[in-house]
Chain A
Amino acid sequence: SQTIHQWPATLVQPVGSPLSLECTVEGTSNPNLYWYRQAAGRGLQLLFYSVGIGQISSEVPQNLSASRPQDRQFILSSKKLLLSDSGFYLCAWSVSIGGAEAFFGQGTRLTVV
């Protein structure tokens, strides 16, 4: 069966520090991968998605970047965190065939202080 792992679960980082959130998927090949940010009252905002290794699409300009170094690994990064980067980050995957549901990780609560 397929599983998705996202870590860490919580993170407190000072302003200006770097960020690396990691997400891995097991039990499937060539998944579509997604990073979302969830802020109160704003639902889930799509940050990045990837349909293959090295292929990253960005939905909104921001202080964050994403990489997909391996087929089932998706990393969200920042060189210098801002206070506004605080939020709940969710990684998700879906099969590459359109219309299948997205499966979500447990999420990371990021607090920038």
Chain B
Amino acid sequence: AQTVTQSQPEMSVQEAETVTLSCTYDTSESDYYLFWYKQPPSRQMILVIRQEAYKQQNATENRFSVNFQKAAKSFSLKISDSQLGDAAMYFCAYYTGNQFYFGTGTSLTVIP
């Protein structure tokens, strides 16, 4: 079975600082994709960043970047220059075989 683990139920960061959210996954597949989604209080799921497992280069989207360690099955999200609008629940997700599997989420608080 595919599992995604987010070991930090809650995190906080000072505005303008950097925070890293952790994610590990368990798989025997070689071809898969990884995602980070953001769920603000509106509960609308928004894609933050996407990583193909066959790519060694870490994905980056503006202030958001990932540290993808394939051998360790680790996929952490770094948010730089945190803003108040970054406050949300963040979900790590794994995709293979037409299915998306999600972790339990990390609630991020941004302190002004």
Residues of A within 8 A of B (CB): 32, 34, 36, 41-46, 49, 51, 59, 88, 90, 92, 94, 96, 98-99, 101-102, 104, 106-107
B75: interface (CB < 8 Å) = no
11 example contacts (A-B, Cβ-Cβ < 8 A) are as follows A43-B104, A44-B102, A46-B99, A51-B98, A88-B43, A90-B45, A92-B100, A94-B100, A98-B96, A99-B95, A106-B43
Number of residues from B at the complex interface, CB < 8 A:
24
Neighbouring A residues of B91 by C-beta, 8 Å: 43-44
| Main SS at interface, chain B | strand
Nearest-Cβ distance from residue A52 to partner chain B, whole angstroms: 10
Contact between B9 and A98 (Cβ–Cβ < 8 Å)?
no
What residue of chain B has the Cβ atom nearest to residue A104's Cβ? B45
Query: Quick check: is B47 within 8 A (CB to CB) of the other chain?
Result: yes
Q: In the complex, how many angstroms separate the beta carbon of B54 from the nearest chain A beta carbon?
A: 10
B15 within 8 A of A: no
Q: Would you give the 0/1 interface string for B1-44, flagging 1 where the beta carbon is closer than 8 Å to chain A?
A: 00010100100000000000000000000010101000000011
